[in-house]
């Protein structure tokens, strides 16, 4: 490795420190330029890059071929945020229930199997880094960006399930990335939009936020992603995000916690960075602070500018070449560990056992669906003769189907498979019209499918109004915290996300085919 680093030009070494996004499902001129002329060490896939498994595997093969035949002739890290639940990038792959569903199931074996199955799918699509799991301890019900992406509010549960998932994922040769260090669970601000601040004492941070990361390090996690959050207890300079803080990344994560793996930033185009130091200056500062990989997910121009700024900083003496070499060594070491050259350019979706993976997804869903309230509503006797009305809400990009943009409701489809009288009302503006109310007449059960009622409060209001005249079951298809806004409804169940397996589990529960086994991993009242 030392020999390889000595052979590399400064531009090739600096390029290895960057992981970038690009637009579209094919290799275009911009990503070709970034690989061939800026020598980037990795790329990140978003939904915009993915059409189906066959196309994803082909894209991965082409990108690796491009990288292996240019510059330092090194393989790429190819990453994706394949968390499961509400953060799922791969179209046509298994849509696993997310972390909070795993938290409700509280089964380490299932968490391992989920990681193992996700790793198998990613590996065979040419993706060698999963930017997961999320190890944030979600103890703030108003958190706008973490929520159900967390395993729960108990640091020990988060650590147990998170490490099991990491071990399953890495057993397949895919790098796991614990995020968002030192912890994004207790914020009420989305770092995509602004800079959050967490002011807890160091003893509290040790007991809660840092605990899962310590356990992940002990379990051998390959990579840790930084949080764009200011922690004044750790970083004394006002307004410095953890991503740009030497006190957080070098003094705490490296020296105190003993992490020797790869430190990757969250995207440097998020407003918590853009509105403070900017993407370009932020790239220089995060390397100074201790990051190994700088993630710039969107802008081609900012990607080029950031790489050029780091090159300039090295040439001017602001950053030593020795510091760059430290990160390159970690990057090449991890690539050597996780990327098998013999398997490169041979991604093939036909190697994936989707049937086995869907079975794991169903088991997670059935063990996690949670009955929070039930005032004699379920089980519904002689259900095939009863009229069940299902209300959902048309919410733009949010979908209750497997593919974003679809307007069908899978929960409804599953109910209809063996029930005779199912009425469907899909409300346009979150308002219940007189005509809609007329359709409900004679309903034995009204199921209201909510999605993040904290933001879409009218959904809870409609459920509460109907509870005066009907037996109302609220099905929270994302946020268990929806229960905070409900008093009158007779029953409440949550699946923690809208994955197909979770919607089927909810339908099976209503139909009496399964019993609710999940336990809330967060406090909701």
Residues 32 and 131 in one domain: yes
SS3 state at 77: strand
Give the residue from 317, 351, 385 where a domain finishes.
351
Residues 337 and 373 in one domain: no
pLDDT at 434: 86
Residues 45 and 173 in one domain: yes
Residues 296 and 382 in one domain: no
Residues 303 and 431 in one domain: no
Residues 75 and 162 in one domain: yes
250: confidence class by pLDDT, cuts 50, 70, 90: very high
Q: CATH code at 456?
A: 3.40.50.1700
Give the residue from 297, 325, 351 where a domain finishes.
351
Residues 122 and 160 in one domain: yes
Residues 333 and 467 in one domain: no
Planar angle of CA 502, 508, 511, nearest 5 degrees:
145
Q: CATH code at 122?
A: 3.20.20.300
Within-domain flag for 362: no
Classify residue 402 by burial, with Cβ atoms within 10 Å: 0-12, 13-18, 19+: middle
> Pairing relation of β-strands 472-476 and 445-450?
parallel
Q: What is the pLDDT of residues 81-109, one digit of tens each?
A: 999 999 999 999 999 999 999 999 999 99
Lowest mean pLDDT among 126-130, 140-144, 208-212, 390-394: 140-144
Residues 218 and 255 in one domain: yes
Within-domain flag for 525: no
CB 276 within 8 A of CB 305: no
The number of folded domains in the chain is 2
Residues 323 and 432 in one domain: no
Within-domain flag for 18: yes
Q: What is the pLDDT of residues 57-89, one digit of tens each?
A: 999 999 999 999 999 999 999 999 999 999 999
Within-domain flag for 516: no
Distances, alpha carbon 380 to alpha carbons 369, 384, 415, in Å? 17, 9, 13
Give the residue from 325, 351, 377 where a domain finishes.
351
Within-domain flag for 295: yes
Q: Is the pLDDT of residue 397 over 60?
A: no
| Residues with Cβ within 8 Å of residue 107, at least 6 apart in sequence | 367
Residues 237 and 266 in one domain: yes
Q: Is the pLDDT of residue 398 over 80?
A: no
pLDDT at 294: 98
pLDDT at 387: 97
Give the strands of the sheet with 491-494, arranged side by side: 370-374, 491-494, 472-476, 445-450, 387-393, 421-427
pLDDT at 403: 43
Q: Is the pLDDT of residue 406 over 90?
A: no
Within-domain flag for 280: yes
Within-domain flag for 520: no
CB 293 within 8 A of CB 17: yes
Please give the average per-residue pLDDT across 28-39, as a whole number: 98
Within-domain flag for 50: yes
Q: What is the pLDDT of residues 420-437, one digit of tens each?
A: 899 999 887 667 888 888
Residues 307 and 401 in one domain: no
Bridge partners of 130? 80, 176
Q: Is the pLDDT of residue 412 over 50?
A: yes
Residue 447 lies in domain: 369-510
Q: How far, in Å, CA of 53 to CA of 40, rounded? A: 24
User: What mean pLDDT, rounded, does the chain reach?
Assistant: 93
Q: Is the pLDDT of residue 316 over 80?
A: yes
Q: Kindly list the catalytic residues.
A: 192, 266
Q: How far, in Å, CA of 74 to CA of 342, rounded? A: 13
Q: How far, in Å, CA of 352 to CA of 166, rounded? A: 20
Which 3-state string (H, E, C) describes 27-70? CCHHHHHHHHCCCCCEEEECHHHCCCHHHHHHHHHHHHHHHHCC
């Amino acid at each position: 490795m030392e020999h390889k680093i000595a052979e590399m030009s400064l531009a090739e070494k600096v390029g290895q420190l960057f992981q970038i996004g690009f637009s579209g499902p094919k290799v275009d001129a911009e990503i070709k330029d970034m690989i061939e002329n800026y020598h980037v060490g990795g790329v990140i896939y978003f939904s915009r890059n993915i059409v189906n498994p066959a196309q994803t595997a082909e894209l991965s093969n082409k990108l690796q071929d491009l990288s292996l035949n240019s510059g330092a002739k090194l393989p790429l890290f190819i990453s994706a945020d394949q968390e499961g639940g509400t953060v799922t990038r791969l179209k046509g792959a298994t849509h696993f229930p997310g972390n909070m569903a795993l938290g409700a199931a509280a089964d380490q074996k299932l968490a391992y199997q989920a990681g193992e199955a996700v790793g198998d799918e990613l590996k065979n699509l040419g993706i060698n880094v999963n930017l997961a799991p999320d190890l944030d301890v979600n103890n703030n019900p108003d958190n706008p960006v973490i929520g159900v992406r967390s395993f729960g509010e108990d640091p020990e549960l988060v650590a147990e399930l998170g490490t099991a998932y990491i071990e399953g994922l890495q057993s397949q040769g895919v790098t796991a990335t614990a995020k968002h260090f030192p912890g994004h669970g207790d914020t009420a601000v989305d770092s995509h939009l602004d800079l959050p601040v967490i002011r807890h004492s160091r003893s509290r941070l040790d007991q809660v936020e840092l605990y899962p990361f310590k356990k992940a390090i002990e379990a051998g996690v390959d990579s840790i992603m930084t949080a764009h959050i200011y922690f004044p207890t750790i970083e004394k300079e006002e307004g410095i995000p953890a991503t740009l803080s030497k006190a957080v990344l070098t003094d705490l994560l490296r020296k105190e916690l003993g992490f020797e793996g790869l430190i990757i930033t969250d995207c440097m185009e998020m407003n918590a960075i853009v509105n403070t130091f900017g993407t370009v200056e932020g790239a220089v500062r995060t390397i100074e602070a201790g990051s190994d990989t700088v993630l710039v997910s969107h802008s081609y121009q900012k990607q080029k500018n950031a790489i050029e700024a780091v090159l300039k900083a090295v040439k001017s003496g602001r950053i030593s070449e020795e510091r760059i070499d430290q990160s390159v060594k970690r990057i090449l070491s991890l690539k050597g560990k996780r990327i098998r050259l013999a398997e490169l350019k041979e991604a093939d979706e036909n190697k994936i056992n989707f049937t086995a993976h869907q079975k794991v997804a169903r088991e997670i869903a059935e063990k996690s669906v949670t009955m929070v309230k039930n005032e004699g509503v379920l089980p519904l006797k002689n259900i095939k003769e009863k009229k069940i009305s299902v209300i959902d809400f048309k919410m733009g990009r949010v979908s209750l189907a497997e593919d974003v943009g679809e307007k069908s409701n899978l929960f409804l489809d599953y109910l209809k498979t063996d029930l005779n009288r199912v009425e469907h009302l899909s409300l346009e503006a979150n308002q219940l019209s007189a005509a809609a109310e007329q359709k409900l007449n004679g309903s034995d059960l009204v199921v209201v499918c909510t999605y993040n009622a904290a933001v879409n409060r009218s959904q809870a209001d409609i459920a509460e109004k109907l509870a005066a005249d009907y037996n109302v079951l609220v099905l929270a298809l994302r946020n268990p915290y929806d229960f905070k806004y409900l008093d009158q409804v007779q029953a409440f169940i949550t699946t923690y996300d809208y994955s197909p397996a979770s919607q089927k589990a909810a339908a099976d529960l209503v139909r009496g085919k399964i019993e609710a086994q999940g336990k809330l991993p967060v406090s909701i009242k």
